[in-house]
Amino acid sequence: MPDMLAIVSKGVFEKDAGKAKLGRVLPLAGYASASKHLAKLDATSRLFLVTVRPPKEALWLVAVLENLVFDGQKWSATPNSTRLTDVTFLKDQLRFDSGKGIVAKPGALGMSLQTPRVLTAADAKLLLEAAAASKTRIPAPRPVNLAKHEERSPLPCLCKRCWAAAPDRLEFQGTEFVRANVQARSRVLWFWLPATLSDDLVAVQQAVQARLCSRIQPFPDEAKSAASEGSDEDEDEA
């Protein structure tokens, strides 16, 4: 099934991510729309979300959603991993399956994109290449998820792309598991814990945290900050 492009309204974008800057990854995991035009999507499609930003109608690529599932009201997906990218320069290059491209009068770009559109393979390639080539680099939001993506794990993957879509509790082969995490040095490690050990969760977290602290170092900016604070304390004591 085809890839499609849909718009995130100005109001929704500013409510959910109004302070987000170009280069940031917004971990969106769904799109609230029951538009019949999106019925062409399936689990193999990608939904490219864009928004129009003032004051000069800049066109921003907000997210690329994959593994789509529709529940009758909204589309759920694995969390987005594409950076927020200014793709205004592509407005005249996108053609869509209609071949008509984007036609909008000044001040009406957002309105012209209200109806979801089917992207051509060339359109999707242009958008993805623009995101990949963006020179804007902003560190990933912290804490950074340490879990690696697991495709064949018997339990749901808890990597940065998948953890938000995983349930809080599940049963597997007669054993109940709960989702838990531990944080250390601005990292977070999500893991599945047998529910029978829930009473020992704090002890488990402390043990895992101690192990992580012995194996990973602070981020350079945090190490520098800690060193500066230590110098100030020494001076005060002197």
Each of the 238 residues of the chain gets a pLDDT tens digit; together they read 799 999 999 999 998 887 888 988 998 999 999 999 999 998 899 999 999 999 899 999 999 999 999 999 999 999 999 999 999 999 999 999 999 899 888 889 999 999 999 999 999 999 999 998 876 555 556 788 898 888 888 999 999 888 888 899 999 999 999 999 999 988 999 999 999 999 999 999 999 999 999 988 887 766 655 555 454 444 343 3
Evaluate the CA torsion angle 165, 168, 169, 172 in order and state its sign: positive
End-to-end CA gap in the chain: 70
Question: What ranges in 109-219 are assigned the alpha helix state H?
Answer: 109-112, 121-133, 201-215
**What token pair was written down for 76?**
């759920």
Residue 192 CA to its chain's centroid (Å):
22
Question: What ranges in the chain are assigned the alpha helix state H?
Answer: 10-17, 109-112, 121-133, 201-215, 220-237
How much is the pLDDT for 137?
54
**What token pair was written down for 39?**
């019925």
| Burial (0-12, 13-18, 19+ Cβ within 10 Å), 127 | buried
What is the residue type of 145?
N
**What token pair was written down for 151?**
């495709």
pTM over 0.75: no
Report residue 220: phi and psi, to 5°.
Answer: -50, -45
| Burial (0-12, 13-18, 19+ Cβ within 10 Å), 39 | exposed
16-21 own/partner pairs: CB under 8 Å, 24+ apart: 17/62, 20/84, 21/84, 21/136, 21/138
How much is the pLDDT for 231?
46
- Measured distance CA(43)–CA(101) in Å, rounded: 25
